[in-house]
Amino acid sequence: MEARLNLGLRVARAGAIAALALAGCSSSTTDPAPTAAPKSATQTIGPEGGVINVEGAEVTFPKGAVKAAVAITIEATDEAPPAGFEALSKVIRCEPSGTSFDVPVTMRMTFTPDGKAATMFWSSPEQPAFTDVGGAIDGAKMSAPVKHFSRGFVGRAKPQ
């Protein structure tokens, strides 16, 4: 009788160990880590609008910004800011340069706030100098409407 009891206990223990081992091998449904946005992206934007995301920037095209489909390229560059400026973001290049919009697009850039005044600067094909286009700050992001494509960044003019 005692031998049967010991055999029964051994079988029960083996079953419990097998159940624990199987539980440890169960599949997981955790989401993979989010992928970083690319440094450059080309996307066709039509009259219905759209959004393009790259590292450090998001461009939102409202409905009616363009009359016909156009291939748009947005690139987060490693360019230094122009002379006389301090950049708090990447310099973002938008192409085709000079493209004008019937309805302004919203340029949203990630920047490094430092407690000092900052604004978005934008260039134009007619006037290659960067001009202050303002911007609304939301944490570490700044948004501003732009009416044409060229290059821009968040920063400030260096003191003279």
Assign 38 a pLDDT band (cuts: 50, 70, 90): confident
Residue 39 sits at φ, ψ, to 5 deg, of -75, -25
pTM of the model: 0.75
Specify the pLDDT at position 129: 82
**Mean pLDDT of the 101-110 span:** 96
**How large a percentage of the chain has pLDDT more than 90?**
67
Of 128 and 42, the one with more pLDDT: 42
Specify the pLDDT at position 29: 46
Of 108 and 149, the one with more pLDDT: 108
CATH number of the structural domain 40-157: 2.60.220.30
| Angle at the Cα of 81 from the Cα atoms of 113 and 111, rounded to 5 degrees | 20
**Mean pLDDT of the 52-78 span:** 96
**Domain ranges within the chain, ordered by starting residue:** 40-157
